[in-house]
Amino acid sequence: MIARRLFLQGLSATAITAGLAPEISAQEAASQAETEAARQIAPSADSSPLRVGIIGPGSRGKELVRNLLRVPGVRIVAAADVYPPRFDQLNQVCGYTVPSHTDYRALLDRKDLDAIVVATPLGLHASHVIPALQSGRHVYGEKTMAYTVDQARDIAAAAKVSNRIYQVGHQYRYSPWIRAAIARVKAGEIGNVTHILGYWNRNNDWRRPVPTADPSGHLERLINWRLYHEWSLGLIAELGSHHMDIANWIFGSAPTTALASGSICCYHDGRETDDNVQVVLSYPAGRRFIFTSMTDNAKQGDQLWLYGTKGSLNVTLEDATFFYEPRQIVKAPTNGKGEEKGVTTSASYRPEGEMPYRGPGKPLTIANPEDATTIAIRAFVHCVRTNTQPIANADVGLGSALGVIHANQALREKKEVAIPLIST
């Protein structure tokens, strides 16, 4: 299977056609994918018992647990973490004492587990997800799928061989307003989308407090792992991976090349990963995704702009707004007496200037704007119970990981890098 051609509405046509008659058309496959996606996203009446363990109940892990506990029938039965204070925090979330292990292998040895959530730092994902799948458990593994291309490929292979569900933490694939907006974009509402711009800006130093004395610096690197190369691919992975996933989804492809720059311009505190990054990913037919992130000004916040030939779409974590604009008819500017003033190109003199289009936006209204993570977790449980391929499957994870990993390579090598076709 070729990863670049996947990502059709969140479920690849290839995945959907896998067990079906070979003559099924791409359109039929896409429509079946949508029907299956709707089934995964909807709440289910099934409350059969599901015993879940978690490796890495840190900040994100506890949020995933909160959401798991909202699904009838789910119980958290074990946790593994190398930092013991996490266990008390987890018990508070669960409201009972969860059996705990400081070595994840002890968790894998348990006989009372059906599924495992992996929410450890990025550099450790493969070393936890792969053994978890090999132990016969279904896995919800946080994004970014893996730290290297080989690791991502190994996770995809382990998921395939194990015949278990592997869902990656790209929860925006499940977001109702993003799904509704993208369906309209795919139906042609803003024309041919050639460029997507993603901003994810914050005004804070991205640091977490280290609560106790730490003479060796070990705790600093464990708690603030995002700031060090050992386990982190920086802002591109932590924030950009979500936007790259949405770009892959819209363009229906994984990227083909990556360019990137970045620097530490604000926080000279010993960190290794950049505090601002700029990435350009190319897609087939000359299309582009541009991601920028800075951590000393939050004006633009987290938002995506999709630019099409008939309009634009703005997507945030809370809403989506369409803007429609007429295609500009290029006329030679005149001096008011009917005389042309120069050749009409964007470089020539124009009295009115190239102002931004300021037509009114049309917000997308959605009946039930449920939290994306809540839906993604509920959908994972549904997939486990029904043995169904998840929307955010290994191909989805691989597509975004390819962008993240190669953009980091481009950043390091200070040159454009080609992104190879990857088979899963």
Ligand X SMILES: NC(=O)c1ccc[n+]([C@@H]2O[C@H](COP(=O)([O-])OP(=O)(O)OC[C@H]3O[C@@H](n4cnc5c(N)ncnc54)[C@H](O)[C@@H]3O)[C@@H](O)[C@H]2O)c1
Tell me how far, at minimum, the Cβ of 13 lies from ligand X, in Å. Answer: 25
Choose the binding region for ligand X from 17-25, 51-59, 269-277, 337-345 (rule: CB under 6 A).
51-59
108 touches ligand X (CB under 6 A)? no
Among residues 9, 12, 67, 120, the one that binds ligand X under rule CB under 6 A? 120
**Any idea of the CA torsion for 97, 126, 39, 245, to the nearest 10 degrees?**
120
121 touches ligand X (CB under 6 A)? yes
Tell me how far, at minimum, the Cβ of 80 lies from ligand X, in Å. Answer: 5
Among residues 10, 131, 169, 390, the one that binds ligand X under rule CB under 6 A? 169
396 touches ligand X (CB under 6 A)? no
* Strands laid side by side in the 115-118 sheet: 100-101, 74-80, 50-55, 115-118, 138-141, 166-168
Structure tokens at 123: 């550099």
Residue number, 56 or 397, with CB nearest to ligand X? 56
Among residues 55, 259, 279, 411, the one that binds ligand X under rule CB under 6 A? 55
Tell me how far, at minimum, the Cβ of 218 lies from ligand X, in Å. Answer: 11
- Cα distances from 404 to residues 88, 94, 100, 205, 310, in angstroms, run 34, 33, 33, 21, 30
Separation of CA 105 from chain center: 28
Site string for ligand X, 63-92 (x = CB under 6 A): -----------------xxxx--x------
Among residues 56, 198, 308, 397, the one that binds ligand X under rule CB under 6 A? 56
Answer positive or negative: Cα dihedral of 201, 202, 206, 208.
Answer: negative
Question: CB neighbours of 174 closer than 8 A, spacing ≥ 6?
Answer: 40, 41, 372, 375, 376, 379, 391, 392
Tell me how far, at minimum, the Cβ of 70 lies from ligand X, in Å. Answer: 17
Window 201-260: residues binding ligand X (CB under 6 A): 222, 225, 238
Residue number, 116 or 193, with CB nearest to ligand X? 116
Residues in a beta bridge with 74: 50
Residue number, 116 or 158, with CB nearest to ligand X? 116
The whole-angstrom separation of Cα 409 and Cα 123 is 15
DSSP symbol at 65: H
152 touches ligand X (CB under 6 A)? no
124 touches ligand X (CB under 6 A)? yes
104 touches ligand X (CB under 6 A)? yes
Tell me if 16 sits within 8 A of 32, measured CB to CB.
Answer: yes
Tell me how far, at minimum, the Cβ of 376 lies from ligand X, in Å. Answer: 8
Name the strand (E) or helix (H) holding 221: helix 218-223
Tell me how far, at minimum, the Cβ of 106 lies from ligand X, in Å. Answer: 11
Tell me how far, at minimum, the Cβ of 261 lies from ligand X, in Å. Answer: 22
263 touches ligand X (CB under 6 A)? no
129 touches ligand X (CB under 6 A)? no
Structure tokens at 263: 């620097």
Taking alpha carbons only, the member of 200, 201, 195 closest to residue 305 is 195
171 touches ligand X (CB under 6 A)? yes
Site size for ligand X (CB under 6 A): 24
Among residues 10, 53, 58, 262, the one that binds ligand X under rule CB under 6 A? 58
User: Count of alpha carbons within 13 Å of 231, Cβ hemisphere only?
Assistant: 18
Question: CB neighbours of 366 closer than 8 A, spacing ≥ 6?
Answer: 176, 177, 180
**Any idea of the CA torsion for 372, 245, 399, 308, to the nearest 10 degrees?**
140
Point out which residues bind ligand X (CB under 6 A).
55-56, 58-61, 80-83, 86, 104, 119-122, 124, 142-143, 169, 171, 222, 225, 238
